[in-house]
Amino acid sequence: MSSDEPDFLSESMSRYLVDRIAATPNIQIHTRAELSGLEPNGDGDLAFARWKERDGGGEQRHEVGHVFLFVGADPVTDWLRNCDVALDAKGFVRTGPDLSRDDLARSGRRTIPASLETNVPGVFAVGDVRSGSVKRVGGAIGEGAAVVAQLHAYLADLEDRGQTASGQRATATWQAGDAIDLQREPGSCRGCRSGGPRDVEPR
């Protein structure tokens, strides 16, 4: 491992992981490579892995017994950009106290958002997609459980204000900690709908 590679990793990985990789002598780093194939042995267990260099290098094949996937480092939020949902510089969704006054003003919001709610009323984000989250499975599970109470509170507030007219729907999308959208009016956020949310009727 060259001395500059840990710094390269720190651009998209937690510091403690970079330090552990740098301190482990039997880890070899292949940057700008993508997995291209997995091959089993006669018992069906993983035996070989293949990967290609993105810069034009050929495919490599090596004996590998285990493959671990590191997901969540790149948010899949392009479908939110037409919804006025505030994103940080890396594309993660801003929520609660991380929202600026400009974020709230852009969406015309006049109420204080809940901790897992975005600047758009009724749109929540949990897990890896949320700006400032710990990017751990346990953290995503905890936020997923916590947001349920905030969803119920949001729907109850709509009922109190008489805004749950027939035909209104709640739209939920999950993708390893994706955004959850409770649309205030059908079709009010076409950009969100284009991302493939699944419609569920509020109870």
Q: Which of 68, 83, 92 is nearest to 193 (CA)?
A: 83
Distance CA(29)–CA(138), nearest Å, equals 27
What percent of the chain is helix, strand and coil (3-state, nearest 5)?
Answer: 30, 20, 55
Would you list the domain boundaries of the chain?
5-63, 78-200
In the prediction, which pLDDT does 176 show? 44
Q: Report the alpha-carbon distance of residue 181 to residue 173 in Å, rounded.
A: 7
Q: For residues 41 and 32, what is the distance between their CA atoms, to the nearest angstrom?
A: 27
- The pTM of this model reads 0.59
Identify the pLDDT of residue 107. 86
**pLDDT tens per residue, range 1-45:** 444 455 667 776 778 888 888 899 988 888 888 999 999 999 999
